[in-house]
Amino acid sequence: MNKTIGRLAAAVLLVGAQSAAAATDCEMEFNMSGWSAFYKTASGSGTIRCDNGQTLKVKIRTKGGGITFGKQRIDNGRGKFSEVQDVRDLLGTYATGGAHAGAVRSSAASVVTKGDVSLALAGTGEGINIGIDFGKFVISTR
């Protein structure tokens, strides 16, 4: 009986160690464009690549509201995710919020969160925008 319990405990520890070791770092490259006039919307596409070899083509949408006006485009944006077990853990709805201002050529950076997963975004683009907004950032498969 004690041998069986010992083997079971060893198996549980081994599975736990394998799960912890399976965490992966992922990054996203993306392009998107949108507009705002109290309501803010933007959409685009990108590719997520992880250091374990997983790759996923994705659609990106942002929706929200606030005191915001403008039109913008982000080219060659980059995102860095917190560690996850699988690339599919990155799909879903992230909470957003921020303040922004820019004219013609501008740069932006922000962090969005979904439970334990965080995504740091950075990009440069063109547009005219000003305001404070809140909403959601959605990543789904293409």
Q: Are strands 55-81 and 92-114 parallel, antiparallel or unpaired?
A: unpaired
What are 116-136's pLDDT values in tens digits? 999 998 888 777 766 666 788
In the block, which residue shows the tokens 């005219």?
Answer: 128
Say which CATH class 24-141 falls into.
Answer: mainly beta
Extents of the domains making up the chain: 24-141
Mean pLDDT of the chain: 79
Tell me the C-alpha distance between 41 and 50, whole Å: 28
Query: What is the model's pTM?
Result: 0.76
In the block, which residue shows the tokens 């405990």?
Answer: 9
Bigger pLDDT: 100 vs 58: 58
Helix (H) or strand (E) holding 138: strand 117-141
Bigger pLDDT: 121 vs 89: 89
Running DSSP on this structure, what letter comes out for residue 54? -
Tell me the C-alpha distance between 74 and 36, whole Å: 14
What are 28-70's pLDDT values in tens digits? 999 998 887 777 788 999 999 999 999 999 999 988 876 667 7
